[in-house]
Structure 1
Amino acid sequence: MGNRNVNKTLQGALILSVAAFIAKLLSAVYRVPFQNMVGNTGFYVYQQVYPLYGIGMTFALSGLPVFISKLIAEAPDLPSQQQVARQIYRWVWGLALVIFGGLMLGADVLARGMGDRQLAPLIQMVAWMFLFMPDLSVSRGYHQGQFQMLPTARSQVVEQLVRVVVILVAAAWATQHQWSVYRMGTWALSGGTIAAVAALVVLPGWRQRSVTTGKNVAHVGRRLLIEGGTLCLLTAMMVLLQLVDSFTVKNGLVASGMGDLAAKSLKGVYDRAQPLVQLGLVVAVAFATSLLPALAEAQHQHRPKAFKQLTTTMMHIALVIATAAAAGLISLMPWINRLLFGDEQGSGMLGVYMLSIILATLIQTYNSVLQSKNAYRLTVVALTVGLLVKAVVNHWAVRSFGASGASWLTVLSLVVMFLVIWYGSPNELRAGIWSRPFIRKLLGCTILMVAGVRFTAMLLAFWWPAIMTSRLAAGGALLVTIPVGGLLFLGLALSWQLLTVREWLAVPHAKAVLRLWQKISQHGGK
């Protein structure tokens, strides 16, 4: 029976991981055509209010369902599971009504705080999505707690598909009919509510009237606040940093002497970083957290040596993939910027922002390790301190150094969060994870990869000058330089044994790469 439960857990984790990957990929990719249709100012309008939706989406999509599924799985029988779900449902409805009322009544105050009173209708549009949060989060969590992952996976993908379609249709219609960017933004943000309805349609219900009432679970409200709140906040870490930017970047630019329209446009350029960072995080975190079920099993079976080994493997894989992704994006940013957004404006500040991929990946991966040990307080402290740094200093940094100041503050805030988590963790979760040879090899692989990519780019620019001005040519150059960088990094990592064989085998599909490398090495040695 134990093995059967473990197998169901592993299969369920895989299904949810694939669904989450697809949902996050859709959430990142749509922003590129959207920005191309509505321009920098239209993108600014949408991105100013998006963090409020992003927080709600995080609550309903991943944060609360994970916490609820844990409580459901702990319940001994079906009546108790139903009772737990009903208790949480009441608490989440209370939370949803408070947020809905706060956004509806406080929309003007929030819009003024963002430096743009015309954003108030967009904020009120986002508020409606929170009324669907109780049913979405409890239904997903209930089915996950019963090891039924397909309903949640299906609803996640449907929700994101519908939202993306609504957003892009609204942008296309607004462009064709010459709507104001604020009217366009309001309709685009309605996609969140419409998508929530679609997700509910494909989710099976969780209430069963024939079930007798189970016992109330003590301290549900407190656990919802502490454990559920921690899961939600950490999952929404990057969105919370974006929310601080919504209140400080445009205002800081205006305070520095920039005109209102120019500040809106530059904030739209700054927001180009979001889809790029999200793509980097999706890939890095997906690979690293593929080991989470095995980590949870090692913790459950009280095998500290296996737990430490898996933690080290997760952190190594996370750092390697995130560093390679960030370094590649930084070195190719001018061409990526031109291909995706039509010009190279803001490539420097976008490059700085890409460093957050490394730090956010490490924080999320390490937080997963702490969660498997039911350690929540440390991550809340880390997130609070990091957000305070961002909130207190960001306006000054933007006023003093322009939008680049906000990029550096995001990186600094994430550094603070990681240091708090790292130094506050038990010694057994820190000792031996990072070794000097590993760091030296990683730096060597990264530096040589960047040098190889830049050299290839110089050769292409010499033979094909159009890549410096043409959007299509920039795309062609990326088709050459990205494989060159990827293969160079992979070859160096394998030849220098950056990861151990055990660590390589923990990466999905790495076995085939190792076999190929072994054949190449044997052939080269002859």
Structure 2
Amino acid sequence: MRCAVKDQLLKGTMILTIAGFATRVIGFCYRIFLAGELGEVNLGIYQLIFPVYSICFTIYAAGIQTAVSQLISHQPQKNHGQIIKAGITLSLCLAVILSFGLFSFRTVIAHSFLGADKTAPLLFVLAFIFPFCGVTSTINGYFYGKNNAKIPAVTQIIEQLVRVVFVVSFCFYDLIPVSSLILSVAGLVIGELASNFYNMYHLIKESSLIHLFRQKAQFGNVIRMALPLTGTKLIIALLGSVESVFIPPILCRAGSSLEDALAIYGILTGIVLPFILFPGTITNSLSVLLLPAISRASGKKDNHHVRQTTSVTVRYSLLLGVLTCAVFLNYGMDLGQFVFHSENAGKLLTLLAFLCPFLYVTTTLGSIINGLGKTVITFAFTVIGLIIRIGCLFFLAPVYGIFGYLFGLLCSQIVICLCHGIYLMKKTHITIQVAKYFVWPFVFLVSLLYISKIFCRNLIHLTNQPYLSYLLLIPVLFAAFLYFYQCGLISKKDIKLFR
């Protein structure tokens, strides 16, 4: 029986990992299209609506989804209808209230909170997404609680695919006389609507709606569990939103025009950060697998397995971060120009290259700490990081512009990473050889990629074939992995720890 549960859990995490990777790839390709279609300034305006979306989603869905998932997993099947009914009803009521609030006060929010009047029509369209998103999230929580990860995974992919097809088709064929900005937000709504239909269909297959709504809802249990979860997530959402919406006005105080500030904001949040986070898809997928593995080992008091797993995953995350950092340091400008046709994107990508090792390692460390059941610790460290970023934004950015904020971004990530690392070292007594897994790989990779960059540029000058020349990066990356293997930094036996 235990073996069957373990296999089901592993299967579920693998499905979520594959789905997460697929949606990241689709989303990344979509961002390339969006950056070219909207332009830098409009991309900044588009990105400004997401702080509002984040706050609202946290209120009407985030805590309720987790509460439903936990209650479903712990209560007998006869109570499942009561739980899902309560979750959907609560989420739908909150979503409708927030939708009407956004409809009514969109102009005030756009002008006073976001500082960009052009976001008002985008907020009007965005408000339609809340009810569908609330119901979808609650149903996903229901299936997570039943260890059925397939439905939520397919839901993610459907939402992404429908959104991309809708926006690209309407923009490419110019089917209706609406701006690309409005279409981009409408794509969010259409994608969520499609995934909602898919979710509802599978919920009805499991339990007819008539049977579902005849049952008495467990409002008390859902509210009691959802309130603290929503509260902690709302603090992070509010701090993150304050950070995001104040970037353009503070850049204006530093001497930029509003258009330039919005363009920088759009490049940073819509192009550069997603680009830096894209290789982190691997560490995110690893984290999904880590959580149950660490939880199982911790439950059995198997401290040796926890130490081994922690040590191996931190090493791999660090190596990925070092490799990505070296690539962005040497080829950041080229990638910005080649992928997004933006020189500014290339500059920011190069500047933020050092973020990669700390960012990827933090993702892994956070998942390990959560697996040990210490979610309050990761919450506290996240809040500390956000406060550092907001502090640098308010005190350094008005003087040094975007560089003051980027300094805060890097400092906060280093602090969060160190906090996670120190906590785990005390908890699990692991040690990481920094010189072996960070310093020497970094020196080797930066040198190797710098030489390859000079060679590539000379080859481009001689052949005038930039695309063909950059294919030389493939053997360079192969040489990097060969170096990792020969130095004993990676091995085949490490993967056995996740079985």
Please classify the TM superposition score into its range, dividing by the shorter chain length.
0.7 to 0.9
The residue number in structure 1 matching 2:470 is 478
Question: Separation in 2 of the partners of 1:200 and 1:372?
Answer: 30
Question: Separation in 2 of the partners of 1:63 and 1:24?
Answer: 24
SS at match of 1:324: helix
Residue 56 of structure 1 and its aligned partner are, at CA, apart by 6.4
The residue number in structure 1 matching 2:360 is 361
Question: Separation in 1 of the partners of 2:8 and 2:211?
Answer: 27
Distance 1:201 1:406, change over 3 A: same
Does 1:458 find its partner at 2:454? yes
Letter in 2 for 1:264: L
Q: Do the aligned partners of 1:81 and 1:214 also contact (CA within 8 Å) in 2?
A: no
Distance 1:289 1:200, change over 3 A: closer
TM-score (norm 2): 0.87
The residue number in structure 2 matching 1:88 is 87
The 5 A counterparts of 1:44-123 are: 44-53=44-53, 65=65, 68-75=68-75, 77-97=76-96, 99-112=98-111, 113-123=113-123
CA deviations 1:305-351 (Å, max 9, x no partner) are 22232222222222222332233123210110111122423433222
Residue 426 of structure 1 and its aligned partner are, at CA, apart by 8.0
Q: Do the aligned partners of 1:59 and 1:133 also contact (CA within 8 Å) in 2?
A: no
The 5 A counterparts of 1:232-311 are: 241=240, 243-244=241-242, 246-271=244-269, 272-311=271-310
Which of 488, 493, 514 lines up with 2:479 in the alignment?
Answer: 488
SS at match of 2:137: helix
The residue number in structure 2 matching 1:442 is 438
The residue number in structure 2 matching 1:326 is 325
Question: Separation in 1 of the partners of 2:177 and 2:90?
Answer: 43
Residue 189 of structure 1 and its aligned partner are, at CA, apart by 0.7
Q: Do the aligned partners of 1:339 and 1:475 also contact (CA within 8 Å) in 2?
A: no
Question: Separation in 1 of the partners of 2:234 and 2:439?
Answer: 33
Question: Separation in 2 of the partners of 1:14 and 1:115?
Answer: 42
The 5 A counterparts of 1:173-184 are: 183-184=179-180
Residue 506 of structure 1 and its aligned partner are, at CA, apart by 5.6
Deviates more, 1:287-296 or 1:22-31: 287-296
SS at match of 2:40: helix
Letter in 2 for 1:496: C
Residue 452 of structure 1 and its aligned partner are, at CA, apart by 0.8
Deviates more, 1:454-463 or 1:417-426: 417-426
Distance 1:36 1:127, change over 3 A: same
Q: Do the aligned partners of 2:64 and 2:91 also contact (CA within 8 Å) in 1?
A: no
Letter in 1 for 2:360: T
Deviates more, 1:47-56 or 1:148-157: 47-56
Question: Separation in 1 of the partners of 2:331 and 2:454?
Answer: 12
CA deviations 1:230-277 (Å, max 9, x no partner) are 57988x89xx75x44542222122212222333333333334203302
The residue number in structure 1 matching 2:417 is 418
SS at match of 1:147: coil
SS at match of 1:19: helix
The residue number in structure 2 matching 1:514 is none
Percent same amino acid among aligned pairs?
Answer: 18
Question: Separation in 2 of the partners of 1:411 and 1:101?
Answer: 38
SS at match of 1:31: helix
Which of 210, 218, 221 lines up with 2:223 in the alignment?
Answer: 221
The residue number in structure 2 matching 1:517 is none
Residue 47 of structure 1 and its aligned partner are, at CA, apart by 1.8
Distance 1:128 1:53, change over 3 A: same
Question: Separation in 2 of the partners of 1:478 and 1:88?
Answer: 52
Letter in 1 for 2:432: S
Distance 1:146 1:263, change over 3 A: closer
SS at match of 1:115: coil
The residue number in structure 2 matching 1:497 is 488
Distance 1:122 1:395, change over 3 A: farther
Q: Do the aligned partners of 2:122 and 2:182 also contact (CA within 8 Å) in 1?
A: yes
Gaps of 5+ in 2: none
Distance 1:50 1:244, change over 3 A: same
Deviates more, 1:132-141 or 1:438-447: 438-447
CA deviations 1:181-227 (Å, max 9, x no partner) are xx431221111111111001112126544478589486532432334
Letter in 2 for 1:493: F
TM-score (norm 1): 0.82
Question: Separation in 1 of the partners of 2:216 and 2:118?
Answer: 50
